[in-house]
Amino acid sequence: MGKDNGFLIWQRSENRMRPVNDRIQDYAELYEELKPEERKEQAGRCMNCGVPYCQSVIRLKGMVTGCPLHNLIPEWNDHIYRGNEEHALSRLLRMNPFPEFTGRVCPALCEKACLNGLDGSSVTIHDNERYLIETAFRNGTMRAVPPVKRSGKHVAVVGSGPSGLAAAYRLNRRGHQVTVYERDDEIGGLLMYGIPNMKLDKSVIRRRRKLLEEEGICFKTGIAVGTDISFSELRSSCDAVILACGAKQERIPVIEGMEEGNGVIRAVEFLKQTTKCLPDLPPVNAFGKHVIVLGGGDTGNDCVATCIRQNCASVTQIEMMKRPPEERAEDNPWPEWPKVLKTDYGQLEAIEVFGSDPRIFSHTVTKLHMEDGILKRAELAEIHFENGKPVVSDNRQEMPCDLLIIAAGFIGCETALPCQAGITLTERNTVKTESGSYAADLEGVFTAGDMHRGQSLVVWAIREGLECARETDAWLMGYTNMQ
């Protein structure tokens, strides 16, 4: 373990956010790292528990805590504390190929299961992970490791989000030749265009691409499989195909008077335009506008923060669910996922700039009002749930609204490519596989990530990519030595 009584000596200390008034002036990353000595102390708070819940997935009441990648957390925390950072890095990379992604955008399921979390002061696992990988890149420890021998097999991966990258990484290390197809102009999927720079600077993705290319992976961007190249043509050119196209079919609520394009934009498109146009404003922007973001999740919060950086006149975030409690309820004990109010960076910025929390809970948008084809107002209604179904009340209110951003989540993968390939989808618009398998019902075709499990977290996408790679390797070679 770290220090035998470290959790009693040192208090939890997270990476500090840059001051609000500084960070809303740019799109630079939010956090400032602790000094190395402070980081050692934070790692020293890890007790290497007899049963380290942090590194094992636990499903309780339909929700998960603990790391889906089974990260060897106590081991690398101990090495950080003792100054053995190269050993710590080797244990981190043993289970997680992309800690620079999870160390930025993962909600830290591991920390929710940390035993120190019993008193609300879990180990800063998330920040420790980021520190390790960033230190390694800075000092040159992260170097390309191409395979010593090639297998003669060729795998095509469609989609370059975290699951596609993870599958490509592992199969390439195994010795297979891997080509990754991405329809956008840059790799990363939602990492690139669905998460804003202040959470994940795009140089981090480009840095990883360079390393993967040095290891032998070929990236073909700007190519839409199913359009620019047919699925049958792709399948005939390789030994196996992995579909990792994400769950990009967005949920669009029915709102009276809504016309996309007339002051209405989907969240991912809004964030994508912003990323592509930086440092300039995108064609659809929030400058001087009263903005409503429909959706209370992480993407909605990212849109709130982006609108503030674009100097909106106001921003309101509409959440259908009721306001969570400030602290754990008695029926939600550790190590269950804490069902408590989370006030994220965008909401904190809105509180600082506009003087109040931007969120309105238990409401939805029911109607939009246009004047000469221009969006001017939105009608809101209270909402509650009966037997799991939303019930809209007659209690209505109007708010000024020049821009409505739809951040209502996703309802599965886009269906054009699976239909062209003749692959069966589930009722949830995910690729159908047997339980515990990643094989589609077409010989030599596999799937991973959100396209397989539905909208989820980056850390789950990485796990799916790694496991899919193992199954693909076994199919290609008749056996596998991947763990």
pLDDT score, position 204: 98
What confidence tens digit (pLDDT) does each residue in 65-114 have?
999 999 999 999 999 999 999 999 999 999 999 999 999 999 999 999 99
Q: Decide: helix, strand or coil at residue 48.
A: coil
Angle at 166 between CA 165 and CA 169, to 5 degrees: 85
- How far apart (Å, rounded) are the C-alpha atoms in residues 116 and 341? 20
pLDDT score, position 422: 96
**Architecture of 154-249+411-477 per CATH?**
3-Layer(bba) Sandwich (3.50)
pLDDT score, position 2: 67
What confidence tens digit (pLDDT) does each residue in 424-457 have?
999 999 999 999 999 999 999 999 999 999 999 9
- Sheet containing 154-158: give its strands across: 218-221, 177-182, 154-158, 240-243, 445-447
β-partners of residue 78 are none
- How far apart (Å, rounded) are the C-alpha atoms in residues 461 and 455? 9
pLDDT score, position 118: 86
Per DSSP, which regions of 313-432 are E strands? 314-318, 359-360, 363-371, 374-386, 389-400, 403-406
pLDDT score, position 472: 98
* Domain spans in the chain, listed from the N-terminal domain onward: 6-139, 154-249+411-477, 264-406
pLDDT score, position 102: 98
Question: Which CATH number is associated with domain 264-406?
Answer: 3.50.50.60
Q: Which residues of the chain have pLDDT under 50?
A: none
6-139: CATH class:
mainly alpha
**pTM: predicted TM-score of the whole model, two decimal places:** 0.96
pLDDT score, position 119: 80
- How far apart (Å, rounded) are the C-alpha atoms in residues 341 and 57? 23
b/e per residue, 94-108, with b = 16+ CB within 10 A? ebbbbbbbbbbbbeb
320 CB neighbour count, 10 Å cutoff: 18
Domains 6-139 and 154-249+411-477 share a fold: no
End-to-end CA distance of the chain: 25
pLDDT score, position 299: 96
> What letter would DSSP give residue 115?
G
- How far apart (Å, rounded) are the C-alpha atoms in residues 184 and 417? 16
β-partners of residue 371 are 374
Beta-carbon contacts of 278 under 8 Å, excluding residues fewer than 6 positions away, are 27, 197
pLDDT score, position 388: 87
Q: Do residues 224 and 414 touch, judged by C-beta distance below 8 A?
A: no
